[in-house]
Structure 1
């Protein structure tokens, strides 16, 4: 299973901050420091503040495993085993850096053994596939923040650990809990520092994934703009779980 084929790039977006500004705001930089014992049990996810400087960056490929009609929900896990990952993603308008209210932030990614719902079996792992695990999204609040609970992704052939993301506006929420329509403003991918993935790979069920792991340095998509586009700030540990944050500036024009 691999989604490093020719990228389908359709739009351009921005990521907040650059250089020292980005590091100070935890935008596009990774904190791999392990927490103290007191911090270990504390949820440290916090919205990333909007910056005064916005830097244009490329989108990244949607890949072959996107499915329309994802559920609108804050918890994507559906009982999938893995290390908890809580995300706070801040969406802002690139021209004003003002937070976007009611933007739908949609995520999808593989499970600990590298399988996507709707495509189970391609990484050598077989189980009934209900087509929705580790897929879904939420609307941002007035602060532009979407808070989502999932698990740390696994890996599959040819790709580093990553999470796919789309941002939509003006969506219609349906009676079955999904969304339809709207305007798609951003397609990208979220990444995590390699040291954190190395620690995760030692823990079950990730340790049972027998597929050779592709690192960030070996990944063609990450190397083609991923560093600027989606390297999250992540803190935590395998025992307590992880929290991640990133700010995305969206071009609405």
Structure 2
């Protein structure tokens, strides 16, 4: 029987995320399911990457973060596990992303043209607490793009006051190209995105394991990502959520006993 630590490494090496969900062999899917994982696309530990300029804590514990924002429906499932694949229940997971036109909520000078003002708005932001299976799920839309970045969704995983993993979830370029070309909410006035996964520095830093496994579901798509977190790690920065967007803020989970 494969040891859980070895299984995590095996899955990471055998199923490059950039190929997309359809490329996973049935055997790998079966091994992942047997280990209690939502996707074979995993790594031992998720690398921490930059938070970016648009994180705020609006104090919203909610699964549906859309606020009627137009776009391709996307269910996101983030599963928090330790280095040997054991789910971490009770982890706080924050997500935030831009809308179909590349705008984040809660800030002025938004999008590629830097003219939109979304101050005081909270769309496409939310918090969920991971269940016994380590999964935090959100109803969202497929992220748009803005100048200088490839398509991505930000996340923070809080285990306690000191252990905070800041990361980003990415998507296959071929899928993004199809969404942007075929879904009217993402249409731009003759402008094409210049940055793709291959020339996005943060995507390269995050590596293959930061790419979502995409599958079609009723009404849209499912994006699944397994996030490996070391329970003993200490974040390099951003331990405490910042309040903003008119919300009251929430504390991270209490220290673990």
Compute the TM-score of the two structures, normalised by the length of structure 1: 0.73
Check conservation: 1:160, 1:215, Cα contact below 8 A. yes
CA contact (8 A) 2:81 2:226 kept: yes
Which of 110, 119, 136 does residue 107 from structure 2 map onto? 119
**Partners of 1:194 and 1:216 within 8 A in 2:** yes
1:22 aligns with 2:12: yes
Which of 10, 30, 55 aligns to 1:66? It is 55
Quote the Cα distance in structure 1 between the aligned partners of 2:142 and 2:61. Answer: 20
Q: 1:185 to 1:27 in 2, by over 3 A?
A: farther
1:104 aligns with 92
The residue number in structure 1 matching 2:224 is: 245
Determine helix, strand or coil for the equivalent of 1:150: strand
**What do the CA deviations read for 1:4-28 (whole angstroms, capped 9, x no partner)?**
xxxxxxxxxx9x834x52377x784
CA positional deviation for 1:57: 4.6
Report how far residue 127 of structure 1 moved: 5.8
Structure 2 CA distance for partners of 1:247 and 1:97, relative to 1, 3 Å: same
| 1:163 is aligned to 2:142 | no
Count how many residue pairs are aligned between Structure 1 and Structure 2. Answer: 210
1:103 and 1:169 in contact (8 A); partners too: yes
2:215 counterpart of 1:235: yes
Q: Deviations over 1:46-77 (max 9, x none)?
A: x73598x9624521110111113441110110
Matches within 5 A, 1:64-103: 64-94=53-83, 96-103=84-91
**What CA deviation, in whole Å up to 9, does each residue of 1:61-111 have, x standing for no partner?**
1011111344111011011011100011111122x4321111111100100
Inter-partner Cα distance in structure 2 for 1:229 and 1:81: 28
Local SS of the residue matching 1:217: helix
Higher strand share: 1
By percentage of residues, which structure has more helix?
2
Structure 1 alignment gaps of length 5 or more: 1-13, 35-46, 171-181
Q: Structure 2 vs 1, CA of residues 164 and 17 (structure 1 numbering), >3 Å: closer, same or farther?
A: same
Give TM-score scaled by structure 2 length: 0.71
Query: Residues 16 and 209 of structure 2 are in contact (CA less than 8 Å); yes or no, is this contact kept in structure 1?
Result: no
Provide the C-alpha distance between the structure 1 equivalents of 2:16 and 2:134, rounded to a whole number of angstroms.
15
Summarize the Cα distance change of 1:246–1:29 in structure 2 as closer, same or farther, 3 Å threshold: farther
Contact 1:30 1:233 in 2 (8 A): no
> Contact 2:82–2:231 at 8 Å: present in 1 too?
yes
